Amino acid sequence: MKKIIPFIIILILIASCKSYNTSPVINNENQNSLVENDTVSISSDENDYEIIIIEPGFNSWLQGTARPEGYHTQEWLESRNTVLVQAWNQRNLQPQTYDPNLYEVRIDYDNRTDYGYEVNYKLYNYFLYFQLKYKQKLSSFTPRI
């Protein structure tokens, strides 16, 4: 029996179905290990943007610990997400230096695109959760709530 990884991180931001067709295929062999409450999916039919976060404990952390929606402005969230996504993607490209199990998937995030408040809010809070849970520091900003 395969050893079950204590955490599953899948973070995908699909900018557009037409312009971004090279996203990696993620095959979860053990679908039963993914708990429905640990999956956060945000999509916008208007803009064709989607973010899927599968991380045990994130949803309850988001509801119980994260600052409420509206605490930060969308512009503030976008500026932080730009820095955090860049750091994430740099680590994704360096699997010999950074744990490839933590930085599995590249995030396609364009700071010139309006993804809306909800996508930016949940992405930013995922980065906070990730940094606190796995003791990572993605930027000079101290991850705190």
Encode pLDDT of 39-55 as tens digits: 555 555 556 677 788 88
**Residue 49 within any structural domain of the chain:** yes
Q: Is residue 80, in this structure, part of any structural domain at all?
A: yes
In a domain, 141, yes or no: no
Instruction: Say which range, 26-35, 56-65, 136-145, has the weakest mean pLDDT.
Output: 26-35
pLDDT in tens, 53-112: 888 999 999 999 999 999 999 999 999 999 999 999 999 999 999 999 999 999 999 999
Domain assignment present for residue 140? The answer is: no
Going across the sheet that includes 10-14, the strands are: 10-14, 49-54, 39-44
Q: Indicate the number of domains in the chain.
A: 1
Evaluated on CA atoms 69, 72, 77, 83, the torsion sign reads negative
Provide φ and ψ at 121, rounded to 5°: -65, -50
Residue 121 confidence class, pLDDT cut points 50, 70, 90: very high
Q: Are 136 and 126 in contact (CB under 8 A)?
A: no
Record the pTM.
0.71
- For residue 44, what pLDDT is reported? 53
3 vs 64 pLDDT, higher one = 64
Q: Is residue 143 part of a domain?
A: no
Q: Could you give the count of Cα atoms lying within 13 Å of 140 in the half-sphere of its Cβ?
A: 0
Q: Structural domain of residue 28, as residue ranges?
A: 10-134
pLDDT tier, 144 (very low <50, low <70, confident <90, very high otherwise): confident
Say if 106 falls within a structural domain.
yes
Asked if residue 60 belongs to a domain, the reply is yes
User: What pLDDT does 129 receive?
Assistant: 96
Alpha helices in the chain (DSSP H): 58-64, 74-92, 117-134
Asked whether residue 25 carries a pLDDT value surpassing 50, the answer given is no
- The answer as to whether 92 is a domain residue is yes
First vs last C-alpha separation in the chain: 39
Instruction: Report the run of H or E that residue 137 belongs to, with start and end.
Output: none
The pLDDT of residue 45: 55
The kind and range of the H/E element at 40 are strand 39-44
